[in-house]
């Protein structure tokens, strides 16, 4: 071993590793070697790296990304390929794989990062964001950088994380290679222009350093499937079943699709991308309100289609965003609407973005539209991502989804969600265009003996159905604990029969329930023979976490992995606060210490969130 390089391995770790290896037999050493190779391969897949040759930092480009749903990862990968093609030595790293101590020596940095929920960084970039915006970060007068922010302008805090990092790096003395880029749903077009400007400027500046050494990238083995986000697979519908009671106020569907012949593969924790069509009834509402002819041929971006097809298949018509508000205000001369976009009107704008769809504003603020101007004001229709609710080990060449159908009355008319309405209407003779979106940060532990804790209210339970199936099929010996919440026990207990069977056969060890609108349980909390916690009070999952805090902390202290899936705006925030309280109370820690301990679990990959 003394002849081998040991990158980033201190003397203590090396000595400990040597002692352990010396005690093993030859057969055991071979097994450890194979297992280590598999772990390294998995680490590379979850944190892909394009490695530049060793040399001066001034000759190297570092590309970092922080991604929650995979968009920033995809754009950063494309950026690395463009840099490679231009002969620029580059390395590509996920934000949590970046050694923060290297920032002081960094000379050329491109950062692609998304904004989640109410202005939060993606989980894999929390550590880097806190470091750069914190007090320990060094001054960076020699750094040249550019930041591309990804977001959705239908949310109030659009690209705020990227904007904060761009401003902070400049405050630390770094020099911009190009201006901050803001990418809305039309990510590729904005990213391509931003990358062209940043790389052109970088090439010019690197000429002063000397000719670049061409990088030799490490590439993951490509998938056998030819289907992708850009070329989705038309998956036949096998089943589309309502899984809530008939009298439930909400419609939740269990959808099963066939992947036979696609070559598509997924792991528990991954998402399925669905390319939807807008509800035809909503498209007709648009045409009626705007008094436009749906059969009229309209040319936009070099393509000519009937207006009805543009609105039905090519444009977002259910998600409101700033650009459309500005265009509507200009088209109708509505000063009141234009004032919403002023900084001092942020609370009012947030309320409109949260409560209204574009059709509501079209009715409220009349305007005369030319079809071409209307299409220019609307964003392209984007795919929706759904957490996969099945394990391929259990269901074969199928993929299952848990879909909450958005269908409600507001402002005197019917409203729908694009993808959920599309999936709800899919019958068993239909097909759904799909692709796989990997989510490497939401994976089961490689060690099947590890315990796992799953927190998934409502449709957030979907990936945990996949987790339990996978652990059952793979023979994992670790314990599985599920916290599930919804409104009503009788009508909204998703997959109730499956969870009860899992408790019986031992593939689920604990199940704690919280039904917020029920009061029919016994007066005092108790645990029945199936391990189901019930009581008479209106409770949410975060209250169950606090009630079971002592045992929850013992599981975590013993090495359990913790997973949260569901709403990012309220549930994930409240659950995180409850976890901090649990750790502080039962770990005898101050709140700040508990927060730091939970942050360490996040960085270690033992605390993973799939929130939306």
Radius of gyration (C-alpha) of the chain in whole angstroms = 26
Block residue for tokens 């950088």: 145
Domains 233-276+383-437 and 452-611 share a fold: no
17 pLDDT more than 50: yes
Residue 480 makes CB contacts below 8 A (sequence gap 6+) with: 451, 452, 454, 467, 468, 471, 502, 507, 508, 509, 510
Report pLDDT for 565. 96
Beta bridge partner(s), residue 608? 563
526 pLDDT more than 60: no
* pTM score of the predicted model: 0.76
Backbone phi and psi for residue 13, each to the nearest 5 degrees, phi listed first: -65, -40
Cα distances (Å, whole numbers) of residue 410 to 311, 317, 328, 405: 21, 16, 21, 15
CA distance 489 to 517: 9
Specify the 3-state DSSP secondary structure of 351: helix
Report pLDDT for 206. 77
pLDDT in tens, 366-380: 999 999 999 999 999
Give the CATH number of domain 280-377; options: 1.20.990.10, 3.30.565.10, 3.40.50.150, 3.40.50.2300. Answer: 1.20.990.10
Q: Give the architecture (CATH level 2) of 57-206.
A: 3-Layer(aba) Sandwich (3.40)
pLDDT in tens, 49-66: 444 443 455 568 999 999
Q: Give the architecture (CATH level 2) of 452-611.
A: 3-Layer(aba) Sandwich (3.40)
Asked whether 544 and 533 are in contact (CB, 8 A), the reply is yes
Give the highest mean pLDDT range of 36-45, 346-355, 494-503: 494-503
Cα distances (Å, whole numbers) of residue 325 to 189, 318, 329, 340, 553: 21, 13, 6, 9, 48
> Any idea of the CA torsion for 391, 396, 397, 399, to the nearest 10 degrees?
-30
| Domain-wise residue ranges, the chain | 57-206, 233-276+383-437, 280-377, 452-611
CA distance 305 to 14: 65
Of 324 and 25, the one with more pLDDT: 324
List helix spans (H) across 217-333.
280-290, 307-309, 322-332
Report pLDDT for 531. 43
393 pLDDT more than 80: yes
111 pLDDT more than 60: yes
Pairing between strand 108-114 and 297-300?
Answer: unpaired
Backbone phi and psi for residue 565, each to the nearest 5 degrees, phi listed first: -140, 135
Give the CATH number of domain 233-276+383-437; options: 2.40.37.10, 3.30.1380.10, 2.40.30.10, 3.20.20.220. Answer: 2.40.30.10
pLDDT band (50, 70, 90) for residue 24? low
Report pLDDT for 4. 39
Q: How many CB atoms lie within 10 A of CB 503?
A: 19
Mean pLDDT check: name the lowest of 175-184, 220-229, 535-544.
220-229
338 pLDDT more than 70: yes
Backbone phi and psi for residue 234, each to the nearest 5 degrees, phi listed first: -80, 95
């Amino acid at each position: 071993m003394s002849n081998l390089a040991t990158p980033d391995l201190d003397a203590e770790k090396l000595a400990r590793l040597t002692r352990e290896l010396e005690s093993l037999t030859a057969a055991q050493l071979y097994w450890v070697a194979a297992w280590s190779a598999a772990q390294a391969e998995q680490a590379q897949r979850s944190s892909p790296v394009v490695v530049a040759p060793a040399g001066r930092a001034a000759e190297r480009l570092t590309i970092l990304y922080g991604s929650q749903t995979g968009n920033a990862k995809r754009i950063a990968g494309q950026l690395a390929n463009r840099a490679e093609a231009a002969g620029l030595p580059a390395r590509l790293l996920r934000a949590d794989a970046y050694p923060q101590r290297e920032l002081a020596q960094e000379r050329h940095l491109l950062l692609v990062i998304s904004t989640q929920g109410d202005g939060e960084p993606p989980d894999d970039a929390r550590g880097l964001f806190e470091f750069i915006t914190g007090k320990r970060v060094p001054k960076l007068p020699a750094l040249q950088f550019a930041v591309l922010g990804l977001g959705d302008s239908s949310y109030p805090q659009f690209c705020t994380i990227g904007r904060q990092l761009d401003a902070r790096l400049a405050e630390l003395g770094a020099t911009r290679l190009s201006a901050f880029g803001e990418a809305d749903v039309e990510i590729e077009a904005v990213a391509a222009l931003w990358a062209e400007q940043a790389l052109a400027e970088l090439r010019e500046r690197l000429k002063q350093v000397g000719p670049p050494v061409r990088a030799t990238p490490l590439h993951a083995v490509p998938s056998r499937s030819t289907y992708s986000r850009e070329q989705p697979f038309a998956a036949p519908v096998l089943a589309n079943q309502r899984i809530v009671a008939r009298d439930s106020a909400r419609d939740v569907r269990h959808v099963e699709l066939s992947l036979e012949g696609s070559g598509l593969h997924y792991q528990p924790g991954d998402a399925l991308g669905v390319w939807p069509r807008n509800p035809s009834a909503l498209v007709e509402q648009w045409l009626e309100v705007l008094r436009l002819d749906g059969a009229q041929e309209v040319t936009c971006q070099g393509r000519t289609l009937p207006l009805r097809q543009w609105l039905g298949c090519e444009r977002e018509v259910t998600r409101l965003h700033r650009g459309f508000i500005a265009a509507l205000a200009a088209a109708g001369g509505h000063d009141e609407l234009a004032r919403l976009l002023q900084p001092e009107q942020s609370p009012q704008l947030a309320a409109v973005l949260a409560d209204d769809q574009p059709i509501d504003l079209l009715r409220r603020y009349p305007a005369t539209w030319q079809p071409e101007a209307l299409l220019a004001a609307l964003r392209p229709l984007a795919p929706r991502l759904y957490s996969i609710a099945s394990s391929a080990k259990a269901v074969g060449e199928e993929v299952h989804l848990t879909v909450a159908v958005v269908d409600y009355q507001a402002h005197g008319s019917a409203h729908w969600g694009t993808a959920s309405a599309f999936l709800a209407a899919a019958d068993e003779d239909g097909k759904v265009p799909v692709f796989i979106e990997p989510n490497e940060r939401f994976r089961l532990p490689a060690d099947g003996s590890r315990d796992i804790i799953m927190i998934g209210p409502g449709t957030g339970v979907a990936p945990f159905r996949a987790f339990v199936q996978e652990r059952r099929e793979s023979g994992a010996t670790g314990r599985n604990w599920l916290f599930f919440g919804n409104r009503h026990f009788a009508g909204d207990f998703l997959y109730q029969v499956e969870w009860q069977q899992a408790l019986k056969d031992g593939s689920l060890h604990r199940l704690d329930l919280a039904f917020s609108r029920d009061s029919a349980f016994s007066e005092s909390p108790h645990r029945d023979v199936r391990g189901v916690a019930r009581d008479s009070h209106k409770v949410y999952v975060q209250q169950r976490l606090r009630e079971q805090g002592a045992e929850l902390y013992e599981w975590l202290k013993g090495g359990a992995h913790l997973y949260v899936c569901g709403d990012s705006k309220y549930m994930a925030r409240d659950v995180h606060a409850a976890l901090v309280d649990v750790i502080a109370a039962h770990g005898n820690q101050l709140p700040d210490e508990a927060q730091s301990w939970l942050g360490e679990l996040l960085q270690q990959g033992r605390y993973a969130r799939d929130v939306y």
